[in-house]
């Protein structure tokens, strides 16, 4: 069955020294942890954190990646550069990339395909805006982002894809989706995967929830049938809070 997968997205926080301190504390706190774990520091801290988590039960992830393999793309970071740093996972389509930096589904799909072609694991983020939820469009938005994000992805490559449902209105706001509301979207998206890839793939794909996950709500969220982990932002910035989410229940 599916393993729980708890990931920390450190966003644009921490210098190398601060990132190293957090990574060292997490290695100690999670060394007996039962689940799958990942930290995604800023590009500037990948090498530092990578050296600390190497050989432990914590994977190294990046928060984004360019859609091209290499070339004249000032300010971008390539898949080859990530692999050179022993990054194993890349978060793509995060709502902050979609809404602040205007990444669309076609661009995100190009990144997904490139990352998979290079053997990386992809955490593909999906999620609706508040006005979309209020208009009753949450399912449709998540379906479109899933279908378009996975265009051209083979069934074999799907085994290296994790989905993260992050309702935009719950990110960094302290407002968490109720476990029931989150589970309903996860179940819906799992059906979308079933339609695209069949029942076996749908039952295996890991779907994380993200959006104000905290030590005091993690266990209730994880108890839901279709919630297989968490993508944690703010609460991932302190070892104690991330570890207590990571070791929920």
213 binds ligand 13P (CB under 6 A): yes
| Cα–Cα distance measured from residue 69 to residue 104, given in angstroms and rounded to the nearest whole number | 19
Per CB under 6 A, the list member of 49, 153, 163, 171 interacting with ligand 13P is 171
Q: By C-beta, is 95 or 202 nearer to ligand 13P?
A: 95
Count of residues engaged in binding ligand 13P, rule: CB under 6 A: 14
Q: Please compute, for residue 189, the number of CA atoms within 13 A of its CA located in the half-sphere on the CB side.
A: 36
Where does this chain touch ligand 13P (CB under 6 A) — which range of 74-82, 185-193, 197-205, 208-216?
208-216
Question: Which of 13, 166, 186, 225 is the catalytic position?
Answer: 166
- Residue 110 beta carbon to ligand 13P: minimum distance, rounded to whole angstroms: 21
Q: By C-beta, is 197 or 242 nearer to ligand 13P?
A: 242
77 binds ligand 13P (CB under 6 A): no
Helix (H) or strand (E) holding 209: strand 207-210
Q: By C-beta, is 123 or 202 nearer to ligand 13P?
A: 123
| Cα–Cα distance measured from residue 153 to residue 158, given in angstroms and rounded to the nearest whole number | 6
Write the CB contacts of 181 (distance below 8 Å, at least 6 apart in sequence).
none
Per CB under 6 A, the list member of 41, 149, 210, 229 interacting with ligand 13P is 210
76: closest CA among 103, 53, 49?
103
Q: Please compute, for residue 178, the number of CA atoms within 13 A of its CA located in the half-sphere on the CB side.
A: 3
- Residue 156 beta carbon to ligand 13P: minimum distance, rounded to whole angstroms: 27
Query: Concatenated DSSP letters for 83-139?
Result: HHTT--EEEES-HHHHHTS---HHHHHHHHHHHHHTT-EEEEEE---HHHHHTT-HH
149 binds ligand 13P (CB under 6 A): no
Question: Residue 225 burial (CB < 10 Å; 0-12/13-18/19+)?
Answer: exposed
- Residue 158 beta carbon to ligand 13P: minimum distance, rounded to whole angstroms: 21
Per CB under 6 A, the list member of 162, 232, 243, 246 interacting with ligand 13P is 232
Where does this chain touch ligand 13P (CB under 6 A) — which range of 102-110, 165-173, 181-189, 239-247?
165-173
| Cα–Cα distance measured from residue 86 to residue 88, given in angstroms and rounded to the nearest whole number | 6
Q: Is 149 helix (H, G, I), strand (E, B) or coil?
A: helix
- Residue 28 beta carbon to ligand 13P: minimum distance, rounded to whole angstroms: 22
Residues with a catalytic annotation lie at: 94, 166
- Site residues (vs ligand 13P, CB under 6 A): 9, 94, 166, 171-172, 210-213, 231-235
């Amino acid at each position: 069955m599916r393993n729980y997968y708890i990931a920390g997205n450190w966003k644009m926080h921490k210098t190398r020294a601060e990132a190293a301190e957090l990574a060292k504390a997490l290695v100690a706190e999670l060394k007996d942890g039962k689940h799958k774990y990942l930290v995604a520091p800023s590009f500037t801290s990948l090498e530092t954190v990578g050296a600390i988590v190497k050989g432990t039960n914590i994977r190294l992830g990046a928060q984004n990646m360019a859609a091209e393999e290499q070339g004249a793309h000032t300010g971008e970071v390539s898949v080859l550069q990530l692999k050179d740093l022993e990054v194993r996972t890349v978060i793509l389509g995060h709502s902050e990339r979609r809404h602040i930096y205007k990444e669309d589904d076609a661009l995100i799909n190009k990144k997904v395909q490139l990352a998979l072609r290079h053997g990386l694991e992809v955490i593909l983020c999906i999620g609706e805006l508040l006005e979309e939820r209020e208009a009753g469009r949450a399912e449709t938005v998540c379906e479109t982002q899933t279908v378009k994000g996975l265009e051209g992805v083979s069934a074999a490559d799907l085994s290296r894809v994790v989905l993260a449902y992050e309702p935009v209105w719950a990110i960094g706001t302290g407002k968490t989706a109720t476990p029931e509301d989150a589970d309903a979207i996860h179940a819906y998206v799992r059906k979308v995967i079933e339609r695209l890839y069949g029942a076996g793939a749908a039952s295996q794909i890991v779907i994380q929830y993200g959006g104000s996950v905290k030590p005091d709500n993690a266990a209730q969220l994880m108890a839901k049938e279709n919630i297989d982990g968490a993508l944690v932002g703010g609460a991932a910035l302190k070892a104690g809070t991330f570890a207590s989410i990571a070791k929920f229940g």
